[in-house]
Amino acid sequence: MLLDFFFQLRDAKIPVSVREYLTLLEGMKAQFMTPSLDNFYHLSRLTLVKDERFFDRFDQVFGNYFKGLEKNMDLFAQLPKDWLEKRFNREFTPEEMAAIEAMGGLDKLMERLKELLKEQKERHEGGSKWIGSGGTSPFGNNGFNPEGVRIGQDESRNRRAVKVWDQRLYQDYDDELEIGTRNIKIALRRLRRFAREGAQDELDLDNTIESTARNAGWLDLKMRPERHNSVKVLMLLDVGGSMDDHIRRTEELFSAAKSEFKHLEFYYFHNCVYDFLWKKNHRRHSERFQTTDILRTYNSDYRLIFVGDATMSPYEILQPGGSVEYNNKEAGAVWLRRFLDRFPKAVWLNPEPEGLWQYRQSVEIIQKIMESRMHPLTVGGLETAMRYLSK
């Protein structure tokens, strides 16, 4: 049975190895937890899934696989009574247990549920007998009963149900889905180079212990600079026009980058970089920074990250005067190559879905200029980009 489950995980493109499968079997054999489907779920996810990006896919495979088995299995016959009783003992107060016993106990509860599933043919609400909602029946949702089994409810109200099935808690971890600030931070952490610089304001515990021992037991405190990420990042962000459709995701990326990188410098441009950039969009026409000055200001050890959908007229990249805002003397491609010559470690992050890139001629042009270092703004794309920049 578990071998089919293993192959379904592989079919879902979850990187599960035979070694991890054998670890799961060893864990089950060790019996270090109470046997139950919930505990098996946590054990199998712990042993088989090594990357949280695949948690949601695992949940889907697990739910679909064991739902299918339920139709052909008598779960009540295969759940030992002592398993459920032990779970009750952990989750219910003595008063609640007394109420359950007064109403017939666990055996009566399960027998009654099977009878109702055979008898009931329609929906019920507000009652005390049938499987329904808003009542005092032990079976249903949005009501109250000390021995309740929740059926068909998205979330708990009284926190008293015995079972809750199919809670997909990890949907935003999948690297094929849109990303949030937390996931961006996780991906950006691949670009790390730690160093200890600056004031000595952090206790060096190991050195303190060693120095105190050498000092015949007299306390000798040793301090050290705080450890931080020393990577330097220069981020150039496209704003306006078609980028208005990607404001939220770009803001999330920018927010995450500011919290992850101590040395972060940023500037804005529109569509393509030309002879000036700016830091405040509402003052873009009065407070400009010459691109030549920026190229001279930052050393080549900075990691350069362009952020933009690269969607524009090809003339804006290839022709002098192609800018939609003013008459630029040099083509955008010239300025892009100057940046790449100055900063060898550079990538382009594109919030546009990767499947649409082939329909954008300008994207193809910039891809060639960037030497195929354009990546989608997804968790997977970010991790690939950060892995390149960290080399």
Residue 319 DSSP class: S
Clarify whether residues 215 and 254 are in a common domain. no
Clarify whether residues 138 and 284 are in a common domain. no
Clarify whether residues 31 and 135 are in a common domain. no
Clarify whether residues 14 and 100 are in a common domain. no
310 or 187, which is more confident? Answer: 310
The alpha-carbon radius of gyration of the chain (Å, integer) is: 30
Please check whether residue 94 lies inside any domain of the structure.
yes
Clarify whether residues 354 and 250 are in a common domain. yes
Burial grade of 261 (CB within 10 A; 0-12, 13-18, 19 or more): buried
Please check whether residue 167 lies inside any domain of the structure.
no
Clarify whether residues 44 and 87 are in a common domain. no
Number of domains observed in the structure of the chain: 4
> At 315, which CATH number?
3.40.50
Please check whether residue 242 lies inside any domain of the structure.
yes
CB-CB contact of 125 with 134 (8 Å):
yes
Clarify whether residues 246 and 141 are in a common domain. no
% helix / strand / coil in the chain, to the nearest 5? 45, 15, 35
- Laid out side by side, the sheet with 139-141 consists of 124-125, 132-133, 139-141, 149-150
Task: Say what the pLDDT of residue 324 is.
Answer: 84
CA-CA-CA-CA dihedral for 226, 228, 233, 235, to nearest 10: -90
CB-CB contact of 97 with 146 (8 Å):
no
Q: What whole-number distance in Å separates Cα of residue 151 and Cα of residue 164?
A: 8
132-133/263-269 β-pairing: unpaired
Clarify whether residues 48 and 93 are in a common domain. no
Task: Say what the pLDDT of residue 88 is.
Answer: 46
Q: Give the domain range for residue 22.
A: 2-73
Please check whether residue 157 lies inside any domain of the structure.
no
Task: Say what the pLDDT of residue 119 is.
Answer: 64
* pLDDT tens digits for range 125-151: 545 554 544 444 555 444 444 444 444
Q: Tokens for 197?
A: 């610089």
Please check whether residue 222 lies inside any domain of the structure.
yes
Clarify whether residues 278 and 134 are in a common domain. no
Residue 276 DSSP class: E
Q: Which of 131, 150, 169 is the last residue of a domain?
A: 150
CB-CB contact of 302 with 351 (8 Å):
no
Q: Is the pLDDT of residue 69 over 60?
A: no
Please check whether residue 164 lies inside any domain of the structure.
no
Clarify whether residues 219 and 263 are in a common domain. no
Please check whether residue 240 lies inside any domain of the structure.
yes
Q: Is the pLDDT of residue 275 over 50?
A: yes
Please check whether residue 329 lies inside any domain of the structure.
yes
* pLDDT tens digits for range 207-243: 888 888 888 888 888 887 666 557 889 999 999 888 9
